[in-house]
Amino acid sequence: MNYQELLKKQLVRYLDFYEFALNPSNKISIFPEHVHIEPTNSCNLKCIHCSQSGRDMNITTKKRGFMDFGLYCKIIDEIKGKVARISLNVHGEPLLHPQVLDMVRYGKEAGIRVNLLTNATKLTEDITEKLLELKLDRVVFSFDSIDKEILESVRVGNKFLPTFRNILYFIKRNYETGRNTFICASMVLFSKTEEHKDEYNEYFMSLPVDTTFNSSILNLAGSSSVSHEVDMQALHEQYKGNQPICKTPWENITVNWDGTVSPCPLDYNEAHVVGDANTESLFDIWNGEKYQKFRQCHLDNDFKWIDDQGVLCSDCNGRYFPDYDLRNQKKNIPDYIVRQFEVYAKNMYSAGKEDATEKYEKVCSELNRVNGLLKDAQ
């Protein structure tokens, strides 16, 4: 895989996107450099800040299923050479898919960087070894606290010690096999977690982990059990007369497990389907009539057409995040470029793999400690 060429394509795409953002329209010739692919929308957890928590409230009604591997191959074959990276995630736990390792392999063989977002509950030693053998490019561990009580109260159904052990084992083995996988530990910030942010970041960065990510809570248009923590009325008032333009419809394309295509990965019930990857080209869908209508709603700050299918953008706090405002690209793109360099440096230059002996020794010690606690608990 030529990482220099992949990075160059991303940088060119960012520059082209900046020029487009100066005078945006509902049609865009620049295809995303990053495609979200959903192996499954099934999940073994009911995290309180996720749409999965809405299952008990009859909010999340989309049928559960697993992407057909033939469809996945069709998608990869189509975007090969045109897209720099894919993420295997969206609304479910990707490691539940019986062919997720084949998905990673096929994407890598196509010369595409493969990212995996996981809650790590199903990350067995065998799966870890196979992912590292495949040289998975990036893994994000969705693990909101290093405190057992907090973690289990947020990620309902998760058992802290076994999952923590899975993560530590992956970190340890990644170091021992050359640190080819970029590791990110991710937490969502809201009332239960925010005050522990510094402790969380300091802990994971004391291990051979590449970065931590602290994301602000998304209200998911009211679909999670903690959506009430976001004061949408206050946001509407704060930005009255200066409404942002969410960049998502111009930067994102999401292929759901059944092949339907969504313009936003937060559309958990797929109320706003803009195409079908089973029968259509993603490149045709990208500027199809429905995609253009969806974008025009954002340009006009008039979401009636979207709301008629199901409330999404008009009641989403994500569009108020400064990083997501299409008008802020001159400020945001340098930050995106720096983040990409951090990821690519490990593969392109030996300088990207610093001597982390002390961090390695600590992860070994922590893994032994957690194994001891698990043994005592038996």
Q: Are residues 110 and 203 in the same domain?
A: yes
Nearest by Cα to 85 from 326, 339, 351, 262: 339
My answer on whether 196 and 342 are in the same domain is no
Q: Does 269 lie in the same domain as 186?
A: yes
Q: Are residues 236 and 347 in the same domain?
A: no
Kindly state the percentage of the chain with pLDDT values over 90.
63
User: Residue 268, SS3?
Assistant: coil
If asked whether residues 227 and 351 sit together in one domain, one would say: no
Helices 69-79, 100-109: inter-axial angle, 10-degree rounding: 20
pLDDT tens for 240-267 read 888 899 999 999 999 999 999 999 988 8
Tokens of 166: 């899975």
Question: How many angstroms separate the CA atoms of 117 and 93, rounded?
Answer: 8
Let me know: does 39 contact 103? Beta carbons within 8 Å.
yes
Q: Are residues 118 and 216 in the same domain?
A: yes
Q: What is the domain range of residue 11?
A: 1-28+326-377
Residue with tokens 């960065």: 205
Phi and psi, residue 349, nearest 5°: -140, 140
Could you tell me if 46 and 184 lie in one domain? yes
Answer yes or no: is pLDDT of 365 > 60. Answer: yes
Query: Cα angle vertex 127, ends 38, 52, to 5°?
Result: 35
Domain count, the chain: 2
Stated pTM of the model: 0.92
- Indicate if 44 and 69 belong to the same structural domain: yes
Same domain, 226 and 360: no
Q: How far apart are CA 17 and CA 5, in angstroms?
A: 18
User: What does the pLDDT average to over 282-295?
Assistant: 96
* Distant-in-sequence contacts of 18-21, Cβ < 8 A, 24+ apart: 18/329, 18/330, 18/333, 20/250, 21/247, 21/250, 21/326, 21/327, 21/329
pLDDT in tens, 116-139: 999 999 999 999 999 999 999 999
CB count, 10 Å around CB of 354?
11
Question: Any residues with CB less than 8 A from the CB of 131 and at least 6 apart, and which?
Answer: 101, 104, 116, 139, 170, 181
Cα 52 from chain centroid (whole Å): 15
119 & 240 share domain: yes
Task: For residues 111 and 9, state if they share a domain.
Answer: no
197 and 168 belong to one structural domain:
yes
CATH of the domain at 140: 3.20.20.70
